[in-house]
A and B are shown apart, each in its own frame.
Chain A
Amino acid sequence: MTGRRISFETSQATQFVDITGRLREEVQRAGLRDGRIHVQSLHTTVGLAINENEPLLLRDFETMLERVAPKGAGYEHDDFARRIDIAVDEPVNGHAHCRQMLLTAFATLLVEQGELVLGRWQSVFAVELDGPRHRQLAIQLDGEFAETRTRHRQEESETLVELELLRQLMVDPEPVAAPMRRLVEAGGKRLRPRLVQLTAGIGPRQDPLRAAGLAAAVELLHNATLVHDDYVDESSHRRGRPTVAAAEGPERAIAVGDYYFAKATRLIAEIGNRKVTSTIAEALEAICASQIDDVALRGAFPGDHDSYLRVVRGKTAALFAAACASGAQLSEARPEVVEALRRYGDLVGVAFQMADDMVDFSPSSGKPVGLDVRQRVVSLPLIYAAEDRMVGPEVRRLLAGSLGDDEVGRVAELVTSSDALRKVRQEAESLVEDAIHALETVELDGLRSTLISLARSAVDRVS
């Protein structure tokens, strides 16, 4: 039996947050092969539900909840004059509590062969009924776990990276460390450091401490690029918290990004493996070049498939590929293994970005819908919607003008109603299969199933 808490931020009063991907990650992280995952809401105004993640259906559910327990319908719970011991900030939320009674506060899902047992159309939702708020769910997993030693080794590796990140952030000057600490502590999927650690276990020279050092440096590098990106994109929030640029100004954001770019490259240089240093430096250059392309393409928004792939290969996939290759290089894996992993990382990175693009149109992601549209960030669903025979002309007309709330909402509706999201998902899934195929001819010291599972979870993500 193992258990933990998972947290998320909601952004709307009523919101269906799809947690299926998070639960899959927990199953994978725990190494549960066959058994159950139990989920419990820790709030009286958050329920759980299992149903289809289809945007219009989610609106139907919301309408139904409003019809059965309308807001402000004279709930006795909201009559503060009659209640005792109420908090100063007690919300008027009788409707939310009543709606929660229509749902459930706990759910148990079966796990077979390491996978959640869900029907084709089933997704698991945490249903926010009184948002926006910070929320937590408790989860427990029981059953038959993968070989305990492997799982413990994986958990220890992850702990080592977190400790290394904390250690590095403790020794830095406060003006740069404080904003970066907030960003790192806010979460993130830690996919890149995980890839470094996994692949650092493949070759003959395995050193968990050096691998953790490299993994932490890669994560710092990733976060440094995000700090600059957020200034460039004028983003107000990341991981549910204000961005460094929004909270402390663009000047500080530039300095923080530069500091951690430099620190990460120093930490990598200190490892003293020239191949690793070159791999990361090449990736960094590709990231920076593609950021310039990304901004340049906003003039021809939404762009086309080729330019999308060019940007995404640099912006996202380059560091995935470098994480995979550098971990393997650190462990002195054979060159053909390094190259297979580099290819795997590149394909998974592109698929991951496509899944991320789809999240922008999901009302259950926990993020505002259409943020990429508003910021004119290159996005594959938008490209496909703009090329669509039915909705394309209206999408292109809207994107050519200024994008206020109404226009962004309409574009999101058009994308959702077209075939674009299905096409993007298909393409992402196909890339994942190619990534898995890239590993077929090389020996991976028992890590094949973990890498396959990680690749598949990259496109299952919803937040």
Chain B
Amino acid sequence: MSTQVIDRELERLEGLWADGLGDAYRSYLGAAGDYEPVAQQKLALAAALVEIGVRLQSLGGLAAPPPTLLMGDLCLARSSRLLADAAPQQVQIAFASAIEVLASAAAAGEAAPAAREMLLQALGSGR
């Protein structure tokens, strides 16, 4: 992917910062304190992106309109990239498993556990 494209994507995600991504990031930062300093921010951002991503997609609720869904998809993909860069294998697996639980509950029309709680557990799985 070219630098120009990456810049454009960053701009897109920056727009979400004020809409809850920043708050979510700060909430996860504490939970990532046991990781290497470089990894802490990436892992906290990865968790925040998942939380905001599924919220944008309205997973488990009425379907988000297509452009919002795509932004949610981008959040999940960006999170996956950050995890690939910085997370131990078990954390990558725990994050993916958390999304599987949320998505299967949504597909079955059942109540899912809170995303934040699951993601905090996923972050803790690498310790």
Binding stretch for chain B, among A8-16, A89-97, A274-282, A422-430: A274-282
User: Is B40 in contact with chain A by the CB < 8 A criterion?
Assistant: no
B9: which A residues are within 8 A, CB to CB? 285, 289
Shortest Cβ gap from A304 to chain B (Å): 16
Q: Which of A255, A256, A265 contacts B92 (CB 8 A)?
A: A265
Cα–Cα, bound, A21→B28 (Å): 52
Q: Is the CB of A261 within 8 A of B93?
A: no
Residues of A with C-beta under 8 A to B8: 289
Chain A interface helix/strand/loop/mixed: helix
The reply to whether the CB of B29 lies closer than 8 angstroms to some CB of chain A is: no
On chain B, the residues within 8 Å of A314 by CB distance are 1, 5
**Residue in B98, B100, B107 whose CB lies within 8 Å of A252:** B107
Complex Cα gap A172–B107 (Å):
12
A59 sits at the interface (CB 8 A):
no
**SS class, residues of chain B in contact with chain A:** helix
Establish whether residues A228 and B73, one from each chain, have CB atoms under 8 Å apart when the complex forms.
Answer: yes
Q: Which residues of B contact A172 (CB under 8 A)?
A: 104
Mask for A273-295, Cβ within 8 A of B = 1, else 0?
A: 01001101110111111011001
- Whether a CB of chain B sits under 8 angstroms from the CB of A250 is yes
Contact flag A281-B80 (CB < 8 Å), given A289-B5, A289-B9? yes
* B84 nearest CB neighbor, chain A only: A281
- Please, how many angstroms separate the alpha-carbon atoms of A327 and B104 in the complex? 29
A324, B99: Cα distance in complex, Å: 27
Chain B residues with Cβ below 8 Å from A278 are: 81, 84-85
Q: Which residues of B contact A442 (CB under 8 A)?
A: none
Is B16 an interface residue, CB under 8 A from the partner? no
A288, B5: Cβ atoms under 8 Å?
no
What CA separation (Å) do A285 and B8 show in the bound complex? 13
Is the Cβ of B1 less than 8 Å from the Cβ of A256?
Answer: no
B80 to chain A, nearest CB (A): 5
Q: A269-B89, A289-B5, A295-B66 are in contact. Are A261 and B99 (CB under 8 A)?
A: yes
- CB-CB under 8 A from A259, the residues of chain B are 99-100, 103-104, 107
Complex Cα–Cα for A401 and B5 (A):
30
- In the complex, the answer to whether B96 meets A258 with C-beta atoms within 8 Å is no
A275 CB to nearest chain B CB (Å) = 10
Contacts of A292 in B (CB 8 A): 12, 67, 70-71, 74
Residue of A with least CB distance to B63: A250
Give complex CA distance A228, B57 in Å. 11
Does B37 sit within 8 A of A, measured CB to CB?
no
Indicate whether A132 reaches chain B with its CB closer than 8 angstroms: no
27 pairs, CB–CB < 8 Å, chain A vs chain B: A172-B104, A175-B107, A176-B103, A176-B107, A228-B73, A249-B63, A250-B63, A251-B61, A251-B63, A254-B58, A254-B59, A255-B104, A258-B57, A258-B59, A259-B100, A261-B76, A261-B99, A262-B96, A263-B100, A265-B96, A266-B97, A269-B92, A270-B89, A285-B1, A285-B80, A291-B73, A314-B5
Q: Which residues of A contact B (CB under 8 A)?
A: 172-173, 175-176, 228, 231-232, 249-259, 261-263, 265-266, 269-270, 272, 274, 277-278, 280-282, 284-289, 291-292, 295, 310, 314, 318
Given A265-B96, A281-B77, A288-B73, 15 other A-B residues pairs in contact with their CB atoms under 8 A = A228-B69, A250-B63, A251-B61, A251-B63, A258-B99, A259-B99, A261-B99, A262-B96, A278-B84, A280-B84, A281-B84, A286-B1, A286-B5, A292-B67, A295-B67
